[in-house]
Amino acid sequence: MKQQHGSLTLPAGSKAAGAKLHLQQWLPDDAPKAAILLVHGYAEHAGRYQYFAEHCVGRGYAVFAIDHWGHGQSEGAPGYVPDFSVFHDGVDQLLVYARQIFPELPVMLVGHSMGGLISATYLLANQSNFSACVLSGPAIKAAEEPSAFLKAVSGFLSRFFPKLGVLELDSNGVSRDPQVVADYLADPLVYNGKMGARLAAEMLNTMTYIQRHAGKISLPMLLLHGEKDSLAAAEGSKFLDGQISSPDKSLIIYPELFHEIFNEPEKDTVLSDMTDWLDRQLLAKGA
């Protein structure tokens, strides 16, 4: 396996134009059969997906990922984003880069948590660029549905106090494995402060948007979710499964698993479920 680091630059026209995003790629020693664009979750970074990448490379996939703006080793303010579209701009650049390296390969989109929300909404205008999509614990519905008052307050704070910390996530909800939680808390590239008002409002608005427009997605999709996910409700994946118009869609709910299903004790089963499904997609397309 070949692992490389680099950077991508957000283009003119982006609300964060010129910002540098940290890039990682994991490539098999032999020619890959497809490329995976990995879209990580809130407050974390792509480096936490080393085990994920090793599994996928072992199955013949090339994996490409960025740290989102304001995350990991990328530029930007943690816990804040000027506009949710900045995350989409990052996926744009990652897709362009992967296509430059492997112009003929099928491309699969894999998003986790907030990365699942980024991926789902990105598909609304860009699904023709992908052969399939996998969403892991996507943040489509909040664990607790916010009240109308809270939504109104979040809009006010987003406008006038955009970086004010308003939401703190419980790191114990990440995984049932205490070592994973300990590593998460000790990781200097993980943001453990409060989510700012702008990002919180942008996420709520984007959740509402995908709930209204999910039927426009027709790409083959696999939805994976832990039933005991306290950070992103499993109802979000169930909702998407019922709403998207994809003729080829699958939903797997893991009864005992927490939020980061790729970091749970059962991760090998979850990862195999994912790559087995991706393999079937390639076989169906004759790739």
DSSP states of 181-210: HHHHHH-TTS--SPEEHHHHHHHHHHHHHH
Which residue has tokens 């003929």? 104
Which residue has tokens 């650049």? 93
Bridge partners for 65 per DSSP: 24, 38
Among candidate residues 85, 113, 131, 136, the one labeled active-site is: 113
Judged by DSSP in three states, 122 sits in: helix
Which residue from 1, 71, 64, 72 is spatially nearest to 30, judged by alpha carbons?
A: 1
Judged by DSSP in three states, 116 sits in: helix
Among candidate residues 229, 237, 246, 273, the one labeled active-site is: 229
Is there a catalytic annotation at residue 113? yes
**Cα separation, 281 vs 252, whole angstroms:** 16
Among candidate residues 67, 119, 259, 273, the one labeled active-site is: 259
Task: Measure Cα distances from 201 to 56, 81, 110, 142 in Å.
Answer: 34, 10, 24, 12
Known catalytic residues are: 113, 229, 259
